[in-house]
Amino acid sequence: MKAKTFKRSAAALAVGLAVAAGTGYVTARHGIAEVHAEPAPAISAPATPAAAMSMPDFASIVARSGPAVVNISVEGLVKTRNIASPFGQLDPNDPFSEFFRRFGPGLQAPGGEQVVRGQGSGFIISPDGVILTNAHVVADADTVTVKLTDKREFTAKVQGIDKTTDLAVLKIDARNLPTLPLAAPDSTRVGQWVLAIGSPFGFENSVTAGIVSAKSRSLPDEGYVPFLQTDVAINPGNSGGPLLNLKGEVVGINSQIYSRSGGYQGVSFAIPIEVANSVKDQLLANGKVTRGRIGVGIQEMNQALSESFGLKSANGALISQVEPGSPAEKAGLQPGDVILKLNGEPITNSNELPPKVAAMAPGSKITLQVWRKGSTRDIGVTLGTQAPDEVASADTPSPDHGRLGVAVRPLNPDEAAQLKAKGGVVVLQVAGAARRAGIQPGDVVLAVNGQPVADVAALQRLISGSDHRVALLIQRQDARLFVPVELG
């Protein structure tokens, strides 16, 4: 289970396991310090007929669907090197570190190895024994055992794993097995009833129900999956189990929970079945998944950014970075472009773009409608291939409280080479407008409203000639992003 706020619902291992020195001077211009009514009467709602208030027939759905849901047990050996204690740290480069972190400590084995065990869920999609589950349930396991509701057990073969979407395909040697039908793509609606069947904490074939709370949720480090959010109770052991609609069709695969305690707290996430189905087909055919790639860093638009770029709405995906040598660079895309449409289909939110592009085959030709410097244009891009499982000395200055409120210095040659930047200035201190906008010491300002910042003087000039709002392109560690700033 992830140690972050977002936690995968991987199985618990055992009951109760909670799991610039020098001299100089400072000048400041344009806020940049350079180092060298009455209530309405109540209306009674008409009485709701008793029939309309009846609950869905969950029992019938479970009776039909339950036999196709399986319990998955895994076992593997982890070298005890760099493990300070049963709950200690593994070497992050150890190939079994992720397995150990999710499933916790187990039994000590001879030869400096640790036996680790865990449980999860899955479901049968083909009568000849093809099973879908989560990648984190079976990744790095030596033995995978599948148990059916009739108590038969099979040793499963892992047909393929895609850690990017957290999906895995298993195969057991059996025939004439019960299966679950898959729902039509994009048929799920917010507010509809759904239920989950799985093995929370090892309690096999447990059933919980709720509604779809939201669609197309983007989670940290999960850019290729537009998750379904539900309020269905999901706990460790539910991982890989089906999320069903009232027709008994699979609409998603339960994968993650949002929790501060490690257990269910009302927010669960499932991989949409259309994503899982596409990954499954590739894993069965090729044993791996290939994805289309543009080669850009993007960020969400908001009202402040849309006004900075002259857009009437905050729709679209803002390009903050173009990778050198990428399909985007070859096509002429630039930082500051706002992608409004992909092949004529509007992009409302930035998180819609990565899964749409990833779902296309490398080599495909697409057309992007982008907003650049006050007008739209269409740009053709030939998709590349996404890599597997890839997202000066001076006195200390004092910033003033002018329009921008930053103290900056030029990049030195080594810094410019490392960032592959032709210009830019390093932020040393922040105050006023910059602080309110979230600018941080160490940020490198590369452009203002799309105009490159070659040096400190250029930044001063651009801020001086700007209206009340600007969009700064900054480099922060390994990422580039636009930050809207309300100037004083």
- Tell me whether residue 136 is one of the annotated catalytic residues: yes
DSSP string for 330-344: HHT--TT-EEEEETT
The pLDDT tens digits of the residues spanning 397-440 come to: 333 335 788 888 888 777 777 777 778 888 887 877 888 888 98
Query: Burial, 181: exposed, middle or buried (Cβ in 10 Å; 0-12, 13-18, 19+)?
Result: middle
Are the beta carbons of 471 and 483 closer than 8 angstroms? yes
* H or E segment and range at residue 303: helix 303-308
| Alpha-carbon distances of 342 from 200, 292, 313, 430, rounded to whole Å | 40, 13, 17, 38
- Tell me whether residue 166 is one of the annotated catalytic residues: yes
Are the beta carbons of 152 and 145 closer than 8 angstroms? no
Both structure tokens of 433: 């407008």
Q: What is the pLDDT of residue 170?
A: 96
Q: Model pTM greater than 0.75?
A: no
Are the beta carbons of 21 and 15 closer than 8 angstroms? no
β-pair type (206-219, 222-230): antiparallel
- Residues forming beta bridges with residue 230, ordered by sequence position: 212, 268
Both structure tokens of 443: 């940020």
Q: Which of 140, 162, 166, 443 is catalytic?
A: 166
Nearest to 134 by CA among 148, 149, 147, 144: 144
Are the beta carbons of 122 and 131 closer than 8 angstroms? yes
Q: Which of 239, 259, 268, 278 is catalytic?
A: 239
- DSSP code for 3: S
Q: Which of 9, 65, 73, 136 is catalytic?
A: 136
β-pair type (479-486, 130-133): unpaired
* H or E segment and range at residue 215: strand 206-219
CA-angle at 356, arms to 335 and 215, nearest 5°:
110
Handedness of CA 89, 95, 98, 103 (dihedral sign): negative
- Tell me whether residue 30 is one of the annotated catalytic residues: no
The pLDDT tens digits of the residues spanning 12-26 come to: 333 232 323 333 444
Phi and psi, residue 319, nearest 5°? -80, 120
Residue ranges for the chain with pLDDT beneath 70: 1-53, 77-113, 221-222, 387-402, 488
